[in-house]
Amino acid sequence: MPCGGANRVSPVANYDVVVVGAGPGGAESARTAAAAGLRTLVLEEHPAVGIPSHCTGKLSFHAFEEFDVPRALAHTAVSAAALYSPGGTVVRVRRSTVDSYAVDRVAFDQWVARRAQEAGAELVTGVRVTEAARVNGTVTVRGARAGRTFEARARVLIDAEGSAPRLLGMLGIAIPRRHALGLQYQIRGVRGVEQDTPEMFFGEDVAPGFFAWLMPVGNDTCRVGLAVDPRRTARAPVWYLEQLLTRHPAMRGRMAGAVVERKVGGRIPLLTGRAPAGTDGVFVVGDAAGMVKATSGGGIYYALTAGRIAGRAAGRYVGGDTSATAAYEREWRGRIGREVAFTAFGRRAINRMTDRELDAIMRAIAESPRVLAAIAGAGDTQFQSRLFGPLLRGLSATAVRRPTLAPLVLKALMSGMFTRM
């Protein structure tokens, strides 16, 4: 079936599983549940899956391997990175293998949705779900489609609404979070692009509370964007993005004659505390659960992983195993919980540093072959916690020759552990 809304819901509005949201997490949970023989319905708010896209589309090689993602969906392969400090130092890192790929996010989302349909899930687009309630051991969702009231019931609800879920509070689920505000342009005609090297830009004048990025997606076309913490600035992301493009020393000359082809914006959910991602008969996945790398805002792999776990847990719950909710919590945290927590630690640590302090640390990294080798050897943008030990050992060794570095490293550690997001 197509992913654009030509399909229609069955006259019988009773299901084993209803999934709200047809993004990667929702579609993968639906595919897993349907493949297990559960009658599964996916409700997507927009008329077509994947449109509009709100994502840079950087997807780790782990996702390609674990979820059999076709390489044809990839624009470019990423094996390096260039990080610009507030003071202009450039940290360049290169791995010997591919770390991730920049994908066509619309095509990717539609591919995941098609897999769910092929497994037997029903997909209905153009449904805005506005209510959810537990009734006699089932979950009922209500909304509107084409001006008409829509209602469906199921034993299990999988909430994959994205970064701004509406239903959780109605179901008694409170996941503490705040949001960074993001904006991205797709730009054609960018000069000096290294296809395997995304670039990141840091500093309070660049993107307060977060960072800016340039992601190559083929030839001279790039996705350039940033996010800001609204608690740290009253200015909108567009102001900072225009400043980056026209005034940043590493960008302004490369943008002469470039053309903006597309603009997208969105919110990046950042967890501010620990809370269960669901309750009896309800499983929350992906951005709706705050399963996002707070260092970068990425979350596609986490959504796919949690979606698969939720689909399996739904099968156990429908089969009468009420411990499936707790099992879902244990399993997703066992797979990706450490990374969600570690990247939150990293975001807190970075955000407590002044530009001068961050510049000093990045300069020490750029000038230390040992630290660069540690990053190249242990760095994995999907599993960032693996870098912690090698990076800390490398910085500690460097601090012996740079006495001013030690208190900065200690401050970062203490900030990551004891401050709030």
pLDDT number for residue 421: 59
Residue 75 forms part of a structural domain: no
Q: Which has the closest alpha carbon to 54: 223, 230, 174?
A: 223
Residue 98 forms part of a structural domain: yes
Identify whether residues 212 and 91 lie together within a single domain: yes
Q: What is the mean pLDDT of residues 384-408?
A: 87
* Distance of alpha carbon 44 from alpha carbon 42, whole angstroms: 7
Identify whether residues 265 and 131 lie together within a single domain: no
pLDDT number for residue 47: 95
* Distance of alpha carbon 291 from alpha carbon 262, whole angstroms: 27
Residue 413 has pLDDT above 90, yes or no: no
Going from the C-alpha of 127 to that of each of 146, 155, 301, the distances in angstroms are: 8, 20, 25
What amino acid occupies position 5? Answer: G
Residue 283 has pLDDT above 80, yes or no: yes
- Residues with Cβ within 8 Å of 9's Cβ and at least 6 positions away in sequence, in order, are 41, 122, 124, 150, 152
Identify whether residues 247 and 230 lie together within a single domain: yes
Identify whether residues 287 and 393 lie together within a single domain: no
Q: Which of 270, 294, 311 is the last residue of a domain?
A: 270
Indicate the SS3 state at residue 394.
helix
Q: Which of 270, 294, 316 is the last residue of a domain?
A: 270
Q: What is the mean pLDDT of residues 346-369?
A: 93
Residues 341, 408 contacting (CB under 8 angstroms): no
Q: Which has the closest alpha carbon to 268: 243, 302, 299?
A: 299
* Distance of alpha carbon 27 from alpha carbon 145, whole angstroms: 20
Phi/psi at 248 (5° precision) = -65, 130
Residue 148 has pLDDT above 60, yes or no: yes
Higher per-residue confidence, 7 vs 200: 200
pLDDT number for residue 54: 77
Residue 274 has pLDDT above 80, yes or no: no
Q: How many domains does the chain have?
A: 3
**What's the mean pLDDT when you consider all of the chain?**
92
Q: List the structure tokens of 57.
A: 């589309």
- Residues with Cβ within 8 Å of 400's Cβ and at least 6 positions away in sequence, in order, are none
pLDDT tens track for 285-309: 999 999 999 999 999 999 999 999 9
pLDDT number for residue 4: 52
Identify whether residues 23 and 132 lie together within a single domain: yes
Q: Which of 219, 240, 270 is the last residue of a domain?
A: 270
pLDDT number for residue 11: 47
Q: What is the mean pLDDT of residues 329-334?
A: 96
Cis, peptide link before residue 369, omega less than 30° from 0: no
pLDDT number for residue 69: 96
Opening angle at CA 151, ends 146 and 156, nearest 5? 130
Reported pTM: 0.92
pLDDT number for residue 1: 41
Residue 6 forms part of a structural domain: no
Residue 372 forms part of a structural domain: yes
Q: What is the CATH number of the domain that holds 98?
A: 3.30.9.10
Q: What is the mean pLDDT of residues 400-419?
A: 82
* Distance of alpha carbon 328 from alpha carbon 233, whole angstroms: 38
Indicate the SS3 state at residue 280.
coil
Q: List the structure tokens of 65.
A: 């391997």
Residue 87 forms part of a structural domain: yes
Q: What is the CATH number of the domain that holds 286?
A: 3.50.50.60
Residue 58 forms part of a structural domain: no
pLDDT tens track for 165-188: 999 999 999 888 889 999 999 999
pLDDT number for residue 7: 53
Greatest CA span in the chain, whole angstroms?
A: 73
Indicate the SS3 state at residue 312.
helix
pLDDT tens track for 65-84: 999 999 999 999 999 999 99
* Distance of alpha carbon 342 from alpha carbon 211, whole angstroms: 18
What is the extent of the structural domain holding 139? 14-52+106-177+273-336
pLDDT number for residue 405: 87
Residue 73 forms part of a structural domain: no
Residue 146 forms part of a structural domain: yes
Identify whether residues 288 and 392 lie together within a single domain: no
* Distance of alpha carbon 43 from alpha carbon 128, whole angstroms: 8
- Give the confidence band of 416 by pLDDT, cuts at 50, 70, 90: confident
Identify whether residues 195 and 260 lie together within a single domain: yes
Q: Which has the closest alpha carbon to 21: 54, 57, 65, 63?
A: 54
* Distance of alpha carbon 170 from alpha carbon 131, whole angstroms: 7
Q: Which has the closest alpha carbon to 100: 136, 73, 123?
A: 73
Identify whether residues 48 and 122 lie together within a single domain: yes
Neighbours of 354 (CB within 10 A): 12
pLDDT number for residue 136: 87
Identify whether residues 277 and 131 lie together within a single domain: yes
pLDDT number for residue 101: 95
Identify whether residues 38 and 121 lie together within a single domain: yes
Identify whether residues 20 and 153 lie together within a single domain: yes
Residue 379 has pLDDT above 90, yes or no: no
pLDDT tens track for 87-142: 999 999 999 999 999 999 999 999 999 999 999 999 999 999 999 999 888 999 99
pLDDT tens track for 230-254: 999 999 999 999 999 999 999 999 9
* Distance of alpha carbon 153 from alpha carbon 139, whole angstroms: 6
Identify whether residues 332 and 369 lie together within a single domain: no
Q: What is the mean pLDDT of residues 30-56?
A: 94
